[in-house]
Structure 1
Amino acid sequence: MAMEWGRAYETPSVSELQDFLLANRIPTGHVNHVWPNLYIGNEVAARDKPLLYHMGITHIVNAASGPPHVNTGPRFYRDMNIDYYGVEADDSIDFCLAPFFYSTARFIRAALGRGGKVFVHCLMGVSRSATLVLAFLMICEDLTLREAARTVRQHRDICPNAGFLNQLRHLDISLQRQRQHQQDSIQRPKFR
């Protein structure tokens, strides 16, 4: 069982997450650095090629890809050396973003592993993009949902919708089970 501050970790409820994310909100800009070489932002930053070039962005995850959302795509960035990954997601509590958690996390991890800089965005940079970054931190960096939310929230005002928060809760529970199972199998005595 994961420990947090000396006690067993429990996945927070959606309402606990919302209370945390909505408390002491501060305005954030169009783009924020939330993890080493990982940024979250909005459509304005996604369309600002000079800004992206100046930041040294090498990879983009568009969590609101395609019409009628932020219809940039690889053609929009064809004059730049950018690898593009699009996720056609709606910012709706009924939209299932979970199927994109692992593929997006792999894309981000591979980019960072090659020394890249990754910009993850959606329309406003608070719900879809934040959800995918939280999932990445949980899957690839072994953070709990609570730790991931706290880490990102220190740098950007985020607020995934209740449906996305619930999907992140399920991911958190699943990852905690996997880690517990791995830990149990390491600690189990081997008989010959």
Structure 2
Amino acid sequence: MFLLCCQCSGQNKTALVRLGITHVLNAAHSKQGSIGNQHFYGNDFVYLGIPAEDSTYFDLDQYFRPAADFIHRAVKSSDGKVLVHCIMGMSRSSSLVLAYLMIYEHMSLKQALHCVVQKRAIYPNRNFLALLLDLDLQLMKKRRKRRSCVIL
């Protein structure tokens, strides 16, 4: 299970413990207005910080796989719950959750968007959407290639 939220929720360690959060993925690590690192969260949480910028030029796709792997490891552990946050919880963090759904849950971008939008409003910027569309195409090609190898 994972939660997607804004940075203010990610800084309330008492609330995180109460929710059963075990892992924190901060998609705005070291950015102004974002507090958090492994030292801040201590031994109560496993932390991954991604220094993403919510901009039209930031290359977020370099973090799709590491973020997806982190979420996957957390949700596959018996009691794992992941909090994924950034400053506003709408673009950076949602893009990383979408990438996770596409990579590990084998959803298309359209399916992943539909899944997340049912739970909360998200607004990945155009750049991030373009990178997610590229990821969608790459994953689709891999799936087709695997299916064609099985058929042969």
Give the TM interval when normalised to the shorter protein: over 0.9
Match of 1:27 in 2: none
Measure the CA separation in 1 of the matches of 2:128 and 2:33: 18
Alignment of 1:59-78 (within 5 A): 59-78=23-42
Measure the CA separation in 2 of the matches of 1:114 and 1:55: 16
Match of 1:128 in 2: 92
TM-score norm. by structure 1 comes to: 0.77
Asked if 1:157 corresponds to 2:121, the answer is: yes
Alignment of 1:108-127 (within 5 A): 108-115=71-78, 116-127=80-91
Query: In structure 2, the residue corresponding to 1:123 is in which secondary structure?
Result: coil
Unpaired segments ≥5 residues, structure 1: 1-36
Aligned residues between the structures? 151
1:97 corresponds, among 60, 67, 74, to 60
Measure the CA separation in 2 of the matches of 1:64 and 1:42: 10
After TM superposition, the runs of 4+ consecutive aligned structure 1 residues lying more than 6 A away are none
Bigger proportion of residues as helix: 2
The structural deviation recorded for 1:74 is: 1.0
The structural deviation recorded for 1:142 is: 0.2
Identity of aligned residues (%): 38
The structural deviation recorded for 1:75 is: 1.3
Measure the CA separation in 2 of the matches of 1:141 and 1:72: 28
Asked if 1:181 corresponds to 2:142, the answer is: no
Measure the CA separation in 2 of the matches of 1:71 and 1:93: 23
Measure the CA separation in 1 of the matches of 2:23 and 2:13: 13
Q: CA RMSD in A?
A: 0.9
